[in-house]
Amino acid sequence: MRRILSLTLVATAAACGLGSASAQSIAVGSLDDLTGPTSANGKEFAAAKADAVKWINANGGINGKKLEMTSFDYSYKAPVAITTYKKWMSESTKPAVIYGYGTADTEALSAMVNADKVVFLSHSFSANLTDPTGASKQVERPTPYNFFHGPSYSDGCRAMVQWASNDFKKKGGTGKAKFAYLGDNHPYPNSAKEACMAYAGKLGMEVLPPIQYSMAPADFKAQCLSLKETGAQYTYLANAANATIALLKSCATVGVKTQYLTNIYAYSEPVMTAIGDAADGVIAPIHVAPWGMDVPGMKRVKEITGPEPKSTFYMAALCTMMYLREALITADKSGGVTGPNVQKAMYAKANWEPEAMAGVCAPATWTANDHRSVVDVPIMQGTMTGGKPGWKRLDVVKLGREAEWHGK
């Protein structure tokens, strides 16, 4: 928490400005939610960013230049994110890169990002951010400067229902498997809703009316009773961690029996620990190796993190930071760290894993025509053993780059 608070204090002291980055430093702006409805996620992201910046600067920086990341806690409020962005862009030292956050704010800022030619990384995996040219005609606008690492929310949910359809058949299910989609009426949980429900129907599942529950945690027994009455065998949770904790606890008290499926930000080790036994068996599209997994890149991870285990939320932000590190190094060597140069650097490699991170970050490919970085979706199941969270890999769903899904 000291590192998180340190980043926040830097932003507060600078009145949202980026300070005085010099020729020997590179300024990056970072939006975080430390106090809003997705703070369980945001605190993990912020900790990973702080650790990564510390490690990068202690290991050569960006070709000898210090990476200066200024963080601002926008409490998951899109208007605050917009105000902060405008403030940063009015500074004498404008950032060439911003590490953004949620779907509502990222999509709202995309037109400004385009105009300013600022590379905007985010934790929003909205499919609306995946078409850099607008050729698909399914996006509100082209988003050539928006990047994220991982399957889009739509593709992640498609992978979930494909797994569920196969699981139902393997278990000898008769008739149609019942599928329910749960989430708030908000850009983030709505992002995958239409695409996922349509795909579930295409796979022959009975798609039930969606059930709404808030992003902010509450007593969700009424929603859980509604879910129980539907008899859904497979239930997708589209909100973030705080709401997942509250919902699964509520559903456990009323005896809901269903296979829960979630997005990447709904479920992780802290969520499992907070829920307890009721968190066992939830399935999610986890595109990063859980901390401690026996893969070559875990050595580098532990150099950065130290010996304490980290969550998959943390690992997702760490992977993004290591992609950013390499893109900045490449851009700096190719004319300087400008938005267009960083953008080109993001296109420089295919099936890209950050240096010394093999097996940790799902290999990514961004191109000038397609920003869907990961289309082979790892399916992971959470386990609770003796009160301790763990993971089991079930499958990798290879969705491919269907043209009809681009931007949707």
List, for residues 250-271, the tens digit of each pLDDT value.
999 999 999 999 999 999 999 9
Domain extent listing, the chain: 2-150+293-346, 153-291+376-405
Q: How far apart are CA 177 and CA 404, in angstroms?
A: 25
This prediction's pTM:
0.94
Same fold, 2-150+293-346 and 153-291+376-405: yes
Q: Which residue type sits at 147?
A: F
14, pLDDT greater than 90: no
Give the pLDDT band (50/70/90) at residue 2. Answer: very low
18, pLDDT greater than 90: no
Q: Is the dihedral of CA 194, 402, 267, 320 positive or negative?
A: negative
Return the closest-CA partner of residue 374 out of 298, 301, 320: 320
Q: What is the pLDDT of residue 386?
A: 93
**Digit-coded pLDDT (tens) for 156-170:** 999 999 999 999 999
**Digit-coded pLDDT (tens) for 43-63:** 999 999 999 999 999 999 999
204, pLDDT greater than 70: yes
Q: What is the pLDDT of residue 303?
A: 97
Return the closest-CA partner of residue 204 out of 239, 243, 166: 166
**Digit-coded pLDDT (tens) for 345-367:** 999 999 999 999 999 999 999 99
CA torsion, points 320, 322, 324, 330, in degrees to nearest 10? -150
Q: How far apart are CA 42 and CA 122, in angstroms?
A: 12
Residues 182-210, mean pLDDT to the nearest whole number = 98
Among 3.40.50.2300, 3.40.50.720, 3.20.20.70, 2.40.50.180, name the CATH number for the domain at 153-291+376-405.
3.40.50.2300
Residues of the chain above pLDDT 90, percent: 93
Cα→Cα distances 348→113, 250, 368, 376, Å: 21, 47, 10, 20
Return the closest-CA partner of residue 148 out of 302, 31, 320: 320
CATH H superfamily, domain 2-150+293-346: Response regulator (3.40.50.2300)
